[in-house]
Amino acid sequence: MFEPESLVNMEHTTADDAVRRERRAIGDLISKRSPENQARRIIVRSVAVAVPLVVALFIGIVALALHDQQPDWSAWLAMAAAVGVIAGVFAGTLAGFVRTSYLFDR
């Protein structure tokens, strides 16, 4: 089926306008969130990123410290992972709060 060029362009323009309106509406919703909700979302994301990184860091430190010995690796690595989770939650919470502290200055 043949469609004139003007109709094809009009359909694309309409779809592009709909996408722009939808993005604008999403932006309006995000800006209407309370500072507490924005802070909570950013803190949760920061913790989700920090925990695996800090766990890997602590496991690497313990593995480096004990590489020339013959320890019970499962106990040492489990301890490093547990300490890494605790430190990761702390670091992620701190980073998230610092990232959102400007929201509470209003």
18-70: per-residue pLDDT in tens? 778 887 777 666 667 788 888 899 999 999 999 999 999 999 999 999 988 88
What are the angstrom distances between the C-alpha of 59 and each of 10, 50, 55, 77, 85?
A: 58, 14, 6, 6, 11
Q: What is the pLDDT of residue 21?
A: 81
Is the pTM for the entire model greater than 0.75?
no
User: Residue 102: which pLDDT band, with cuts at 50, 70 and 90?
Assistant: confident
Q: What is the pLDDT of residue 5?
A: 55
What span, in angstroms and rounded, lies between the C-alpha atoms of 33 and 29? 7
